[in-house]
Amino acid sequence: MREILGRRRRLLSKRGDGTPELIGAALTYATEWQWPVLPGVAADPQGTGRCGCPDPECTVPGAHPFDPGLLAATTDGRMVRWWWGNRPTAPIVMATGGKAPCAVSLPALPAARALEALDRMGMRLGPVVASPARWAILVKPYSMEQLGELLYAKDFVPGSLRFHSEGGYLALPPSETGQGEIRWERAPLPGSASPWVPDVEAVVDAVVEALTRTGVSAPEF
């Protein structure tokens, strides 16, 4: 199932245009799913695709924390209401790791082809977050030591893969960033307190195999 039904569909599938759906989505993540969130820095109001942070060469415009910093991420509903009550169009940023999922991301085109190959292989995936540039597959929390051992055992790992683990972050739907809309490519299934996500080993193994089988050469960015 690739869409959310009922209440969660209303909360999570609309764009971050300052309507109550954005606050509702942030509250669902924080209070129902126990994913720590915080508001991201706004994109440049001039609409140039640049970030509102001081870095003129920011590579993730509007899709990262700035003020407050990442350590402020919380599951406290009162804090979430206060943040988005004052910054109603702020992107929703999740602090990855800990009690929240981690993620494996890759550029959008090879990601789409890899997911098609994984479907044919019968690989079970959880939620997949998509931006215009990259897609991120949510996975169970993992340590850097675990990741290092996993990658060391591989003969080849595409350099375009990125790993969002403890101390990292990921923008969530329905945020609007300098790179465009953040949406669900694979939406969380309804009916559970927190969405199911696979182990990182299974995802990395399957993605590398899928890219190899389909002959996709993911660009190094």
d(CA 178, CA 48): 8
Closest C-alpha among 57, 61, 141 to residue 104: 141
pLDDT of residue 206: 83
Cβ-proximal residues to 17 (8 Å cutoff; 6+ apart), any chain = 89, 176
CA 88-91-96 angle, 5° bins: 135
Residues of the chain below pLDDT 50: 1-18, 217-221
Cβ-proximal residues to 77 (8 Å cutoff; 6+ apart), any chain = 27, 30, 31
Could you tell me the pTM of the whole model? 0.83
Span 61-96, pLDDT tens digits: 778 888 888 999 999 999 999 999 999 989 999 999
